[in-house]
Amino acid sequence: MKFALIHRIPGRARLRAERAFGLRTANTLADGLYGIEGVEGVRVNPRVGSVLLLYSDEAVLAAACQLLNCADQLLGGEPERYVPAPAQPQGEDGPPSLFPFFRYLFLRPILPFAVNVVNAFRASTPYLKRCWDSLRRGRLDVDALDGTAIAISLLRRDFRTVGLLTLLLGFGDSLERYTQKKSLENLASHLALQADKVWVRRDDVDMLIPFQDLAESDLVTVRDGTVIPVDGVVAEGTASVNESSLTGEALGVMRTAGSSVYAGTVVEAGEIFIRPTSIGRDTRMQQIVRFVENSEQLKAGIQARYEKLADRAVPFTFALAGLVFLATRNLARAASVLLVDYSCALRLATPLAILSAMNEGVGRKVMVKGGRFLESLARVDTVVFDKTGTLTQSRPEVAQVIPVPGAEAVQDEDEVLRLAACLEEHFPHPVAKAVVHCAEERGLQHAEEHAEVEYVVAHGIASMWRGKRVLLGSRHYISQDEGVDVSCMEETISDLARQGYSLLYLAVEGRLEGMIAMRDPVRPESAALIARLREMGVPHVMMLTGDDERTARAVADSLGITEYRSQVLPEDKARVVQELKDAGRTVLMLGDGINDSPALSCADVGVTLRDGSDLAREVADVVLMGGSLNELVTALELGRGTMRRIHGNFVATMGLNSLFLAGGLIGMIQPGLSAVLHNLTTLGVSLNAMRPTLGGR
């Protein structure tokens, strides 16, 4: 089986096999890849034969490619074909039943010896088969340990111990499936998001309608930075679509007429009109399932490290059992040693701790999209804030509307505001929402009279209005990029800047026609948050903004921020974050706009707010769903608490199982008791993993 590299960006690559393969092959490949030093995350999709790899450097990627292209040797033969999983019988994944314990304790003693022998062989067959499969492929793993211990008990004709071992192992498997299933279900129930409204084109007019009124005959309009609300086919237009929620690949793909698009993906640039093919609950639930599956499969680095460490102990356990048998000629002691393994508890407790923390986070209005981001949250030493809509309120206000004296295209304040709202109504940025809201408050009708809108990220908007080219945006965009002279208003501009206002400039046919002064009040919790971060031991706090130096300095001084950069473009934000990472810092970036998305992607942890743009919510690793910056503290404490919990479980697992191992060596613990103690340890650390990380706070 050969793999081809189909997509790569620094630190992330996707490879695809010649064909689909089975789940056991997927698990083997994942285990093999995690054995490579420098592999930070693996997601294997057997249904499409795909492997998503997160890695530290190019040498690691080369080693991973070599391993995958020698997969046949790793698998010990031809990989099995992909077979769709059969439907589970009703109640298959319900709570573990206690009836097998009742049968073992009360029915087994009164059954004929022959019946107990048959039951012992029948119960042990699945474990012996898994053991044989592992040994045939040259793998010394937990399946091999369990199967060998059961085989020894069968050889000793100790059918009572065989019954106890298979009972405990079966109960442990059921408990693992059930706890993971319940954790995933709880997480998914918190993530069921509802679409409220959607833009459609009817009779050549764009209108905003409730989602429940959407019909399959409608054309859904989706523009820059906006989430696609339905599955469908592009009827008109061209756009670059970010499909990372579906494919895991961060680069946008072009979608034109006839292309399929999917709910939950985001238009990065362009405009498309979609004919829906799937509307409603099914589509949204598919998004939830994809998110939950990705969150579980993208393991935290600490989980992979602990699993590798535990797996390395398996050959040692086999060797120790062999030495015990050679020294004592006692199969019971050897079996007691084999029944103590370290990876069982770690493989269950570590992902449970992560899932429980994610579930607890959502309950506290903090959505963390995967275990590795919890690990990164625990290591954050630098927090970088975007200013507008983040440190300042997410709902800026229009303070003044200023028409330019002698303007030709617009006559008064209302005309300036009406035209600006007409252009801004299609975009999700807080400034755009503020302009539209102000026009609505003044009772201004701003029905579309313009042609296709061109949105220049972090700069402004261009369109045709009554046959004239109209521009709306920042001074950099209007003056430097488009060459519009703003000197006639220089005195007014300076006065407004001194007062801390941000300015939008409106130009028609290359002439400045008006300005809108935006008031962007600082969030009431911002100053306290900065102080709290320093109390938590975060040494570096920085603010980035596209505003001029005077406005940036005023905001930074009011919040107690000593590091800030002004007049920063989107690509500059990402560059600043990368420079901090290159200096050895673990960087958390918090922003809310389309223009913050490159920096969010670049950071070790990208964080956005509930009211952030669709694209920002898509690329961010953490979403603060309550809309308060104080939830950032919750996220950091959640990450730190989860890592402490995982480390504590690791110490308990290694310590207790080592004691049981020593007891088996000296003959104090028999195989049955060894299995009981081992399973109790697994249950204990699993219950500990599922406790609330932040307690009652």
Q: How far apart are CA 343 and CA 314, in angstroms?
A: 8
pLDDT of residue 55: 84
> What SS3 class is residue 262?
coil
Domain 3-75 class? alpha beta
How does residue 635 score in pLDDT terms, banded at 50, 70 and 90?
very high
Q: How far apart are CA 367 and CA 625, in angstroms?
A: 7
Per the listing, tokens 């690793």 go with 621
Q: Catalytic one among 386, 547, 604, 614?
A: 386
Q: How far apart are CA 503 and CA 512, in angstroms?
A: 13
Is the per-residue pLDDT at 647 higher than 80? yes
CATH 2.30.110.10 is the classification of domain 197-279: no
Q: Dump pLDDT digits (tens) for 564-604.
A: 988 787 668 888 998 999 999 999 999 887 667 778 888 89
Q: Give mean pLDDT, residues 163-183.
A: 65
pLDDT of residue 273: 92
Q: Give mean pLDDT, residues 248-253.
A: 56
CATH code reported for the domain at 366-393+522-627 = 3.40.50.1000
Q: Give mean pLDDT, residues 93-109.
A: 69
Q: Dump pLDDT digits (tens) for 51-85.
A: 888 788 888 998 888 888 887 766 655 555 544 44
Q: What is the mean pLDDT of the chain?
A: 78
Is the per-residue pLDDT at 281 higher than 50? no
pLDDT of residue 166: 80
Q: Dump pLDDT digits (tens) for 9-59.
A: 677 788 888 777 776 777 778 878 877 888 877 778 776 678 888 788 888
**pLDDT > 70: percent of the chain:** 77
CATH code reported for the domain at 397-519 = 3.40.1110.10
How does residue 446 score in pLDDT terms, banded at 50, 70 and 90?
low
Within the chain, all domains assigned CATH 2.70.150.10 are found at: 197-279
> 116 or 370: whose pLDDT is higher?
116
- Contact between 690 and 183 under an 8 Å Cβ cutoff? The reply is yes
Q: Give mean pLDDT, residues 364-371.
A: 83
Q: Give mean pLDDT, residues 613-636.
A: 83
pLDDT of residue 534: 92
Q: Dump pLDDT digits (tens) for 322-342.
A: 887 887 777 777 776 666 666
Burial group, residue 114, by CB count within 10 angstroms (0-12, 13-18, 19+): exposed
Q: Give mean pLDDT, residues 673-678.
A: 71
- Residue 386 a catalytic site member: yes
> 292 or 591: whose pLDDT is higher?
591
Neighbours of 695 (CB within 10 A): 7
Tokens found for residue 299: 């393991």
Q: What is the identity of the amino acid at 124?
A: S
pLDDT of residue 541: 94
The contacts found for 677-684 with CB under 8 angstroms, 24 or more apart, are 678/339, 678/340, 678/341, 678/344, 679/168, 679/169, 679/171, 679/172, 681/345, 681/652, 681/653, 681/656, 681/657, 682/172, 682/344, 682/345, 682/348, 682/349, 683/172, 683/175, 684/652
Within the chain, all domains assigned CATH 3.40.50.1000 are found at: 366-393+522-627
Within the chain, all domains assigned CATH 3.40.1110.10 are found at: 397-519
Q: In DSSP terms, which residues pair with 208 in a beta bridge?
A: 199
Is the per-residue pLDDT at 459 higher than 70? no
How does residue 99 score in pLDDT terms, banded at 50, 70 and 90?
confident
Within the chain, all domains assigned CATH 3.30.70.100 are found at: 3-75
Q: How far apart are CA 464 and CA 508, in angstroms?
A: 9
Q: CA distances (Å), 360 to each of 22, 176, 207, 537, in order?
A: 33, 19, 39, 23
